[in-house]
A and B are shown apart, each in its own frame.
Chain A
Amino acid sequence: MMTPTASTQSATPDAGMALAPEVPGFERRDVKQNKVRRTGAPGEKPNILGGLGGWLWLAIIILPIYYIVITSFRTSEDLRSSNQLLPTTNPTIAPFIRVIQNDFFHYFTNSLIVTLSTVAVVLAVSVMAAYYIARSTTLGGKRLFQIILLGIAIPVQATIIPVYYLIQQLGLYDTLWALILPQIAFAIPLSVLIIVNFVRDIPMELFESMKVDGAGEWKILTALVLPMAKPALMTVGIYQALQVWNGFLFPLVLTQSSDVRVLPLSLWEYSGQFGIDVPATLAAVVLSALPLLVVYMFARRHIVAGLTAGFGK
């Protein structure tokens, strides 16, 4: 997470230092300058090339999304007879109905169960571990943190075979547990890292005064650490929810029956099942992305913060 002072600390006196005193605004560089101007400096040439590039990338991003949306309102015959890049003249919601009739809400519910329970457990165990790591005075806390940091570098793909073996041995193959348990484990390192950084910023005096008042560690956890770390928990929660909701490898390897099918895997199955009924397949794609789009509209800042929190400077 960016602290308010982070942006000024990195100011290195390299370029143009000699000129600095004459530069208006140099003295007030501690002020958050991002907000100062919104339309480019007066007299600055507009960056035409940059603007063109920006719009071009927008076109590249939007075209496939536009395409799936308009195609999901077509009939199958329409798909071959008319120009694909223009909206159809007689839209139909039949593809969406076909998707919904094929157990879409069942898969949706599975995804919801897996995502919510994974995130809930991840948050609970990570905040506890983060409290221990941030406030531990023993060597154990340091060592644990190092191991956890190492965990961030473990590629999930490379461990899938032993995970598969383990899940089979535990008798959990083809259950929702098979998706929840490993995904909790792989979400812990990054979550702990982000929350530890937050807990470390809680002033030591607050912990001390609670102890003086006779509060035990559970009391400190629930009454001090939890409320103070709330922004971090929000960030971590949304980031991990996005990962789990869209995850494909674990469901692909660890489940097979339609009872426990989650959305990404259901898309995969739909495409086989619908075959040449492309509008229905794409309607399923649209429906699967819709919940995240809604979340994005209301919690954009948290999602963006969550995605960059672990890695951004």
Chain B
Amino acid sequence: MGHKGPSFLMALPAVLFFGIFALIPLFGVVVISFMEWNVLGSPTWVGLSNWQAVLFDRPFTWTALGLTITFVIGSYLFQAPVALLLGVFMAGQQRYRALLAVLYFLPLLFSSVAVGLTFQSLFSPNYGLSAALPFDWLPNDWLANSDLVMWVMIFVVGWCFVPFHGLLYQAGVRQIPQSMYEAATIDGAGRVRQFFSITIPQLRYTIITSSTLMLVGSLTYFDLIFVLTGGQPANAVRILPLDMYVTGFSSYNLGYASVIAVILVAIGLTLSLALNIISGSSKMESDKAGA
């Protein structure tokens, strides 16, 4: 071919922005994890001592990791089935379902702070839900009870993100040829049977994409938990991303916080790679490329 493409200058602005403010920080966080830095002074090299301290001399790191695992798995078990069912429901042909889908979307319009303040007041011990409903068995310390708060957080985070994953599934279901269902109906397969032998297998790539986003997303999720609880009571929901923020910007130990950040990146990348391998192909990438 005699022609040549556009010159690299076209891409240069994007490369500069992305390089300076995204790529360099990604490497920077590894570098800072080997430094002592308390915000005021400048960072000084301390070798492995941050890592030593965070991994071995600070039992809370492992507690936070445990909380993170509970949060990630709990969120997944709540969000994935609801989003899948909701997606199938929204993809249905009835007109009222399309109308409901418009309303399901609403949580996506609120910022995490707005959602946090909403539920803070809804779960308040003095007014809100507990005060309004005449059920004695209803707890009124939703956010102050350290046994309960993790489940409340999983629910609230799900409230925010289920609509997004529902949309992914809706788009996925709409791609399944109707003829498959028609054939199955004539074959005598019921609705449940069709769901498990047509819908689920046909959605496998959507399931992988959505699961990756859900798991890696809740691994690094921080905003809502910070607004709603700040990790209280008794640090019962101080998962790793929140632990990183509090360690870095409330206790001003940015070296420790960077160690936690590197751990998060490592777990996140491992998780998405693992899911990619489990899915048996590099389909994720081509999914994205063909999106």
Question: Using a CB–CB distance below 8 Å, which chain A residues touch chain B?
Answer: 1-2, 6-8, 10-12, 14-17, 19-20, 22-26, 29, 33-34, 36-41, 44-45, 47, 50, 53-55, 57-58, 60-62, 64-65, 67-68, 71, 79-80, 83-85, 121, 124-126, 128-129, 131-133, 135-138, 140-141, 144, 147-149, 151-163, 165-166, 181-182, 184-186, 188-189, 192-194, 197, 208, 211, 217, 220-221, 242, 245-249, 253, 263-265, 267-268, 271, 278, 281-282, 285, 288-289, 292-293, 296, 300, 303-304, 307-313
Contacts and interface: CB of A to CB of B under 8 A. Distances in A.
A267 B103 CA distance: 24
A38 B94 contact: yes
B220 A151 contact: no
Nearest to A253: B249
A111 B289 CA distance: 32
23 contacts: A34-B174, A39-B93, A41-B185, A45-B191, A47-B92, A54-B97, A128-B13, A135-B5, A137-B5, A147-B23, A158-B220, A162-B24, A188-B14, A189-B18, A211-B3, A247-B111, A264-B112, A267-B113, A282-B121, A288-B114, A310-B288, A312-B206, A313-B290
User: Majority SS of interface residues in chain B?
Assistant: helix
Interface of B: 1, 3-8, 10-11, 13-15, 17-18, 20-26, 28-29, 31-32, 43, 82, 85-86, 88-89, 92-95, 97, 100, 102-115, 117-122, 124, 126-129, 131-133, 159, 162-164, 167-168, 171-172, 174-180, 182-187, 191, 197-198, 201-202, 205-206, 209-210, 213, 216, 219-220, 222-223, 227, 241, 244-245, 248-249, 254, 257-258, 261-262, 264-265, 268-269, 272, 285, 287-291
B281 to A, nearest CB: 14
Contacts of B171: 2, 308, 312-313
B257 A161 contact: yes
Contacts of B272: 153
B172 A289 contact: no
Given A15-B198, A181-B17, A132 B183 contact: no
A15 to B, nearest CB: 5
User: Majority SS of interface residues in chain A?
Assistant: helix
Contacts of B249: 253
A84 B126 CA distance: 11
B197 A33 contact: no
A313 B291 contact: yes
A255 B27 CA distance: 23
B4 A20 contact: no
A144 B11 contact: yes
Contacts of A152: 288
A188 B202 CA distance: 31
Given A60-B159, A313-B171, A246 B183 contact: no
Contacts of A140: 8
A289 B183 contact: no
Contacts of B198: 15
Given A61-B159, A84-B127, A282-B118, A245 B21 contact: no
